[in-house]
Amino acid sequence: MMTTGMTSRFHSHRPRVFYFTHRVPFPPDKGDRIRTYHLLLQLAEKANVWLLALADEPVTPAVTARLAGLCEQLAIVPVKSGLRWWRAAASLLLGNSLSEGLFHEPLAERILTRWLADTHFSAFLASSSAVAPLLLRHRSKLSPGGAIVIDMIDVDSQKWLDYATKTWGPLRFLYRLEGQRVRQLERRIAREADTIAVVSHAEARIIDEFAGPGRTTVAENGVDLDYFQPYPATIHSIEQPLVAFVGAMDYWPNVDAVTWFVENVWRDVRSRYPETRFRIIGRNPIRVIRSLHARDGIEVTGAVPDVRPEIAPAAIVVAPLRIARGVQNKVLEAMALGKAVVASPPALNALSVTPGREVLRAESASDWLNAICHLLDSPSRRRELGDTARAYVERHHHWNECLAPLVNAGIPQEKQELLLK
């Protein structure tokens, strides 16, 4: 465990907020960390944040230093891989979800108990439903008027139920059971939390169906518009006959998307355009993905320090996800880079885009083939899509505006008014 505090930099008149994240929120290099990091940035501007983060991978001194600079108090708790699966199994046997067991860490509870002994918090925030039970157990120790805010991000129960429809045998049974158990937890959160946040109106409608209307706050994902900018005016002159996909390649929906695309679309693209390459960009490619490398013009990069140079030469960015929950950061980032994007319906469900204007939508293999061939043949159409895509994210996906409902939910109204004076 690592703890640190920098109390001298923080002000007593500001609200004190406890923020519990299921993964260390830095660096912002994958979906959940991108959102939690930007929420932390905004909270730190208005409140003294006490951050408790679970760590399922090594944490470097640079990461610790960055987070410590944003927090009044910081505790990072390593999650031991062996023990967590025993806890997951025990959780399942006790009638709860595997997820609750995977993210249950007794040391985290001890730290919160110690902090609560002499500290009052204006709000408790948690990232994801899996870590919400810790906050719900300590609700009575909040300051008067304090709130419990659960950023569910996506409706995880629906993700597991969706997985069950794509698998067979014991795995289908396990996914369905996990979906039912997580849904049980989500119902409890809907009853007991003061604010539930999700990334899209589509996710909110799912919660409305099982918890009643009006229980959710929509706080969409944003894009770092300064970081993800179109390359200079020469961007279109450097484009190559290259199709790109970005995503963690040990995450099953991404693996499923890429393997489906290669088997059902890519071979036909290559037969028509032999010079075209497919670049798969993302950390931890599993064996089935690694086996694609150097086959039929396919490149598998693995982890890269910066995705922008990998995407910049691409004529097209694809998101052929067959299962997707919430807002896909990979789609927003490609749009912010001014790239022509082709995406499946699940990858677009959470966005307010108009297919054909900001992106192209493709569902069947023939849809995909036609869209890609059309764009490879038409640089002007690619440019048009890229320009309107960038304009869309500038209008709708600035982080400060997207996360404002969450930040405001975590800071009492009287404190907000004081901060504005």
- Pair of tokens at residue 14: 């500001």
What is the predicted pLDDT for the residue at 11?
60
**Domain-wise residue ranges, the chain:** 2-222+399-420, 233-396
The topology under which CATH files domain 233-396 is Rossmann fold (3.40.50)
3-state secondary structure of 351: coil
**What are the tens digits of pLDDT across the range 264-282?**
999 999 999 999 999 999 9
- The three-state secondary structure class of 152 is strand
Give the whole-angstrom CA distance, residue 298 versus residue 280.
8
pLDDT at 418: 36
Please report the pLDDT score of residue 388 as a whole number. 97
What's the pLDDT score for residue 232? 67
Does residue 177 contact residue 192 with C-beta atoms inside 8 Å?
A: no
Mean pLDDT split into 10-residue runs, the chain, 421 residues: 54 84 91 91 93 93 96 93 86 93 92 90 91 89 80 93 90 94 95 92 92 89 92 61 95 95 96 96 95 94 93 96 86 95 93 94 97 96 96 94 86 47 33
Dump pLDDT digits (tens) for 12-25: 678 899 999 999 99
pLDDT at residue number 406: 87
Q: Is the pTM of this model over 0.85?
A: yes
pLDDT at 234: 43
CATH of 2-222+399-420, one of 3.40.50.2000, 3.40.640.10, 3.90.850.10, 3.30.70.980: 3.40.50.2000
Q: How much is the pLDDT for 248? A: 92
Fold match between domain 2-222+399-420 and domain 233-396: yes
The structure tokens listed for 322 are 């067959």
Single-letter amino acid code for the residue at 287 = R
Contact 162, 256 (CB under 8 A): no
